[in-house]
Amino acid sequence: GDSVTQMEGPVTLSEEAFLTINCTYTATGYPSLFWYVQYPGEGLQLLLKATKADDKGSNKGFEATYRKETTSFHLEKGSVQVSDSAVYFCALMDLTGYSTLTFGKGTMLLVSP
């Protein structure tokens, strides 16, 4: 079945550091890929998405590129802020099914001033 693997956290960075959170996936078809962010005590918010190979999703300074050859969708940001501290979830949607999302286990990011 479909699965998503994320790097374990917490990831601890200083403000203005470069961020990478690795995500790889296993899917039988050609899924859409997503990053969601969860701030403390809140629900999940869509951060960015990519629907086909080589697509780059971007939002709020975050980027991720859909790499079919390496089945990866790594999240990057050039300069993190304290306000980026949250849990980040990578997810895939199998477009041949009923549009359900399969999530990774999440990666906590902690940014210190």
Could you say whether residue 100 binds other proteins (CB under 8 A)? yes
Inter-CA distances, 49 with 3, 16, 17, 35, 82, Å: 17, 24, 23, 6, 23
Q: How far apart are CA 39 and CA 7, in angstroms?
A: 18
Q: Within 10 Å of residue 79's Cβ, how many Cβ atoms?
A: 11
The single residue listed with the structure tokens 């979830």 is 89
Could you say whether residue 104 binds other proteins (CB under 8 A)? yes
Q: Which of 12, 29, 46, 82 binds other proteins (CB under 8 A)?
A: 46
Could you say whether residue 92 binds other proteins (CB under 8 A)? no
Could you say whether residue 93 binds other proteins (CB under 8 A)? yes
**Residue whose CB is less far from other proteins, 74 or 106:** 106
Could you say whether residue 49 binds other proteins (CB under 8 A)? yes
**Least gap, CB of 84 to other proteins (angstroms):** 19
Q: Which of 40, 43, 69, 113 binds other proteins (CB under 8 A)?
A: 43
Q: How far apart are CA 78 and CA 55, in angstroms?
A: 19
**Which tokens hold the place of 104?**
């990774």
Q: Which chain residues interact with other proteins by CB under 8 A? A: 32, 34, 36, 42-46, 49, 89, 93, 95, 98-106
